[in-house]
Amino acid sequence: MNPAQTDAAIQTHYRACNLCEAICGLEIRVRGNEILSIRGDEADPLSRGHICPKAIALKDIHEDPNRLRTPLRRTASGWEEIGWDEALDYAADRLVEVQRAHGGDAIASYLGNPTVHNYGSMTHAPRLLQTLKSRTRFSATSVDQLPHQLLAYWMYGHQLLVPIADIDRSHYFLVLGANPMASNGSLMTVPDFRNRLKALQARGGKMVVLDPRRSETAEVADEHHFVHPGTDAAFMLGLLKVVFDEQLTRLDRLGAFSDGIDAAAAAITAFDLDVLAAHCGVHAAIIRRIAREFAAAEGAAAYGRMGVSTQQFGTLTQWLIQLLNIVTGNLDRAGGTMFARMAVDLVDSPVSRPGHFGKWKSRVRGLPEFAGELPVAALAEEILTPPASADSTNIRALITSAGNPVLSTPNGAQLDRALSGLDFMLSVDLYLNETTRHAHLILPPTAALEHDHYDLIFHVFAVRNTTRYSEALFDKPAGTLHDWEIFEGLGARVAARLGLKRDAFPQPHQIIDMGLRSGPYGAMRKHPAALTLKKLQENPHGIDLGAMEPCLPQRLAHKDRRIQCTPPELLVELQHFGQQLGAPDVGTPLKLIGRRHLRSNNSWMHNFQRLVKGPVRTQLLMHPADLALRGLSDGARVEVRSRVGRVVVEVSASDEMMRGVVSLPHGWGHDRDGTRLDIAQAHAGVSNNDLTDENFLDAVSGNAALNGVPVTVEAIA
């Protein structure tokens, strides 16, 4: 430590953590440029002092010697550092060159998961993509929550009108394919989940978990039931059949503005409960009991997440979850599922984009777009497959922002090969990772603690209405650019080269200020809170805006203010599901599922010692009986094969696994050459997306089916 830092005064800063969806409030003590401590902010109205180990690692991320701080250009002799003007000019020249030669659709983009944790990327990246006039856009949405957003658009009129479990007042919490003990919520921002669950149980409530693994959440549940991967729709159909057959519906006021329930009931009651039970592996008597308990509870919420969304019938299952909440009267009800009312309202806004579906399709396979994005499972083939005619094009250039699709999208090995053949690839990223190693140019933005922050998205999914603005902890270092400055600088250069007019655009904090002022609690609305950016700056712990409140039908975004309970596409998918009920698995293969750890969010969390220390957690988990059946021993190295690839990994015997199911964590596979991730490479693991299949999709939405992938596990010859 230098003398100036020794003499500097200790300062305390308050901000929200931006490493996962929980957005926990932090108290950070610094002296000069040194972070002394990070702890939970007990005055934060949402997280109430709770943090997880990821927040402590913000210090490691900020100080990481592998983090890029200067633009890198790939040359024949290796990477070279260049200045910002040269880098932006080079990028603009190459992008315009591709566009003029092959058209706008020859330039694709991929926005990774961290994009939604960084509001500057959210506000300004779309401006660049609009200038390039490309429809080949991809993001992490289609390996994650696409079914949620599609259903919100179809049923409630807007892709962000996603009902949230009101866990703080609920008496019955039904959880499918979710692990909030590890995630602190996902599409349900719920920091300090453990204590919120304890409070639910203390008031006489219960949590029931359906999962092929006895997860961390299942361990603290009142009940856990194994369910065959990819069959959650059968379980949900069973619940709804009991509700309809036994006349347990309780629409109450929802009935006055809900359409299509009779059609759903007719289709669902035609199923046989015993057949459904056999298919999902949950006994019919258990299904009946849970249905009755849910319908009778004083506030019940059904919630399904990654294990449900990323499976072959993901959209169908999520629809059935929505339907159960509706027909039991638990939608828009305290203790049921409700809609957040965020300070910067992304739903009720003049610039809001409710979404659209199927306006265009991917060139090779005809997969539908949603809200302007194509399913990322099509990205590799759109690069590798030559155009069939002179008036079409394959992808020749790619822009990635804060993403690592080689490790996070299906058949990552195929995408790895595809990226090496691009004419030009640009990455806006802090790291030289498994994806960005293919780039011709990497533009690193400032790190999280060097810029301000506002959670535009996660307040949409929060279990309580709050708002908080985080000022930068450290000044922007000389010779660096924020992400939004990168997108603006590049967009201006592209527009100038194409002769396009480019209007002035506000900075991110100005957008937030206007959003706060014009939002439901804003000064322009004459609300008592009178929110402005200045007011949030004066309240660094954040401001509590209260519990979620009933808001239907006024909040519905359909013109007629009605819930479309039964989208026609789902009745068709229900028929498809019924046709494969009871069909045997050829060769009875094992089914692969993913898993998440509290210390790991995605691939970008593995280069920090605090987050990888401790017991190895990259093994393949497998039930002891399945090991014995194959003559395998605990701790052995095994080969796992799927249709698209193979990995060699250590297997660990675990009775937390359902028989016939194996589990690999997501985001690992850091053993590829050409990266600069010293700690991640030392804890490489294998990528489960070298096994997931780009042809194994949710047929309705095009979302990747990352769970329930058929695999074989064998001893290494």
CATH of residue 25's domain is: 2.20.25.90
What is the model's pLDDT at position 1?
44
Q: Which of 575, 604, 633 is the last residue of a domain?
A: 575
pTM of the entire structure? 0.96
What is the model's pLDDT at position 208?
98
CA distance 626 to 662: 9
Asked if residue 284 and residue 205 are part of one domain, the reply reads: yes
Peptide bond into 147 cis (omega under 30): no
* Residues contacting residue 478 through CB under 8 Å, at least 6 positions apart: none
Does a structural domain hold residue 694? yes
| Domain that residue 617 falls in | 584-715
Does a structural domain hold residue 286? yes
- When pLDDT is cut at 50, 70 and 90, the band that residue 599 belongs to is confident
289-342: pLDDT as tens digits: 999 999 999 999 999 999 999 999 999 999 999 999 999 999 999 999 999 999
Asked if residue 323 and residue 207 are part of one domain, the reply reads: yes
Q: Strands (DSSP E) along 41-139, which ranges?
A: 72-75, 78-81, 107-111, 137-139
Does a structural domain hold residue 305? yes
**Mean per-residue pLDDT for 184-212?**
96
CA distance 616 to 528: 52
Q: How far is CA 636 from CA 21, 361, 473, 630, 711, in A?
A: 36, 45, 47, 12, 17
**Mean per-residue pLDDT for 623-644?**
97
- pLDDT above 70 covers a percentage of the chain that reads 99
Q: Per the structure, how many domains does the chain have?
A: 3
246-274 residues labelled b (16+ CB within 10 A) or e (exposed): eebbeeeebeeebebbeebbebbeebebe
Asked if residue 664 and residue 636 are part of one domain, the reply reads: yes
Asked if residue 20 and residue 39 are part of one domain, the reply reads: yes
- When pLDDT is cut at 50, 70 and 90, the band that residue 586 belongs to is low
Asked if residue 171 and residue 50 are part of one domain, the reply reads: no
362-381: pLDDT as tens digits: 999 999 999 999 999 999 99
Q: Which of 11, 36, 63 is the last residue of a domain?
A: 63
CA distance 193 to 195: 6
Does a structural domain hold residue 18? yes
Residue 605 has pLDDT above 90, yes or no: no
- When pLDDT is cut at 50, 70 and 90, the band that residue 349 belongs to is confident
- When pLDDT is cut at 50, 70 and 90, the band that residue 206 belongs to is very high
Asked if residue 597 and residue 571 are part of one domain, the reply reads: no
Residue 140 has pLDDT above 70, yes or no: yes
Asked if residue 704 and residue 588 are part of one domain, the reply reads: yes
Asked if residue 626 and residue 571 are part of one domain, the reply reads: no
Residue 282 has pLDDT above 50, yes or no: yes
Which tokens is 148 given?
A: 């949620």
234-269: pLDDT as tens digits: 999 999 999 999 999 999 999 999 999 999 999 999
CATH number for position 588: 2.40.40.20
SS (H, E, C) 481-496: CCHHHHHHHHHHHHHH
Asked if residue 212 and residue 293 are part of one domain, the reply reads: yes
For residue 499, the SS3 value is coil
Best CA proximity match to 472, nearest among 506, 443, 509: 509
Does a structural domain hold residue 410? no
Does a structural domain hold residue 663? yes
CA distance 655 to 608: 30
Backbone region of residue 612 per phi and psi (left: phi > 0; alpha: psi in -120 to 50; beta: other values)? alpha
What is the model's pLDDT at position 350?
78
424-444 residues labelled b (16+ CB within 10 A) or e (exposed): bbbbbbbbbbbbbbbbbbbbb
What is the model's pLDDT at position 2?
47
**Mean per-residue pLDDT for 118-124?**
93
* Residue 162 contacts residue 461 (beta carbons within 8 Å): yes
Q: What letter represents residue 569's amino acid? A: E
CA distance 432 to 81: 13
CA distance 165 to 301: 6
CA distance 258 to 255: 5
What is the model's pLDDT at position 128?
93
Does a structural domain hold residue 619? yes
CATH number for position 328: 3.40.228.10
Does a structural domain hold residue 487? no
Asked if residue 667 and residue 571 are part of one domain, the reply reads: no
What is the model's pLDDT at position 483?
96
CA distance 32 to 3: 11
**Mean per-residue pLDDT for 85-94?**
98
- When pLDDT is cut at 50, 70 and 90, the band that residue 3 belongs to is very low
Q: Which of 28, 43, 63 is the last residue of a domain?
A: 63
Asked if residue 621 and residue 571 are part of one domain, the reply reads: no
- More confident: 593 or 57: 593
Asked if residue 263 and residue 245 are part of one domain, the reply reads: yes
- pLDDT above 90 covers a percentage of the chain that reads 91
**Mean per-residue pLDDT for 588-599?**
91
382-395: pLDDT as tens digits: 999 999 888 899 99
